[in-house]
Amino acid sequence: MKKKILISTGGSGGHVIPALTIYNHLKNTYETLISTDVRGLKYIDKSYNVILVNTPKLNNLVLLPFSLFKVLLLIVRSLILLKKEDISVLISTGGYMSLPICLAAKLLGIEIFLIEPNMVLGRANKFYLNFSKKLICYSKNLINLPTGNQEKVVSISPLIRKEYYENSVNLKDENSFTVIIIGGSQGAKIFDDLLKKSFINISRKVPLKIIHQTNDKNINSLRNFYLQNNIENKVFSFAHNLNEILKKSDLCITRAGASSLAELSFLNIPFIAIPLPSSKDNHQYENAKYYKKLNCCWIINQKDFDDQKFEKFLLELVSKKGDYFMKKNNLKKLNYQNTWNNVNQKLLNIFNEN
């Protein structure tokens, strides 16, 4: 009988995407299930075995007694679920949404493995680390790792969705320099405000195409802005085929979520990271800093953004391209061993260790 594994995730794509990737690595070897909250459902299609565990936040003092009572009920429900499904291993991508499942697994003596894609150990994972077996991450130099836990850390190549490996066809338009702006599934409104005017002046000097992710409400106004200024563009909100869209780009301007940077890196697309200033423990900046140290990207702090300096920088980058190609080559060197089979074998070795 196959070992049964439950993967707990939810919330943002930064949690769910690594969980789905792990699921696809393990599904042929183990019987694999996935649990998520309501927010995570939009990232998961019907081909996955999904269980809904909708954990409330515990940050509202007025609702705290009700929320704690709901968490207690969810722990009981999780105990029943884990026993009924005969789960042998729990994998958590962190976040408060995994709390009931992780505590129930601890009570039942089920092995717990944590996934930390960021360069800073998340607060929930830091708590779960006390009763976990292994912490799987992308670097052993993890920030905020408590002393005495180094033996739990196992590093792997970044988790990349399988479709990113399957088609390496170059889809770029050779007649123009294509810039893609990625602000997450909700879009980053500040990107709309900060960047679009600079693109007008640059497009008058070099052939430029813009692919811009924004929120649903802003699609039409942003598209009209580009059309009125004769800039070839594609404006969108959420796309399941983001890998195909990324392959059409030369350069990306992005926040610094771990999954986004890993996928850009794998596709050898140099990027300008503008980390989210409010990210917990400044983890987005640390994610980008990892690639900056390897000379694979540029970082601009949002509070220091200057449209004239940005315009001058981007125009020079597009025109001369020496620094651009250096970073592109460094990305190739960084990812040459990141194959689906290599990552798959490493994960199987981790979960088969005992």
Q: Residue 238: what pLDDT? A: 75
Strands 232-236 and 31-36: unpaired
Distances from the Cα of 213 to the Cα of 64, 128, 176, 198, angstroms: 36, 34, 19, 17
pLDDT of amino acid 186:
47
98-139, pLDDT tens digit by residue? 999 999 999 999 999 999 999 999 999 999 999 999 999 999
Q: Count CA atoms within 13 Å of residue 143 on its CB side.
A: 15
DSSP assignment of 32-47: EEEEE-GGGGGG--TT
Report angle CA 272, 275, 278 to the nearest 5 degrees. 165
pLDDT band at 285; cut points 50, 70, 90: very high
Angstrom distance (rounded) from CA 30 to CA 299 = 40
The torsion angle over the Cα atoms of residues 309, 314, 315 and 316, rounded to 10 degrees, is 90
- At residue 67, does pLDDT exceed 80? yes
Fold for the domain defined by 4-160+338-351: Rossmann fold (3.40.50)
Domain 165-335 in the same topology as domain 4-160+338-351:
yes
Report the pLDDT value the prediction gives residue 292, as an integer from 0 to 100. Answer: 97
Q: Is the pLDDT of residue 173 over 70?
A: no
How is the chain split into domains, by residue range?
Answer: 4-160+338-351, 165-335
Q: What pLDDT sits at residue 188?
A: 64
pLDDT digits over 11-43, tens only? 888 899 999 999 999 999 999 999 999 988 988
CATH number among 3.40.50.2000, 3.40.50.10490, 1.10.1140.10, 3.90.480.20, domain 165-335: 3.40.50.2000
Confidence band, pLDDT 50/70/90 cuts, at residue 168: low
Whether the pLDDT of residue 354 is over 60: the answer is: no
Q: At residue 1, does pLDDT exceed 80?
A: no
For the stretch 129-139, pLDDT in tens is: 999 999 999 99
Q: What is the pLDDT of residue 184?
A: 58
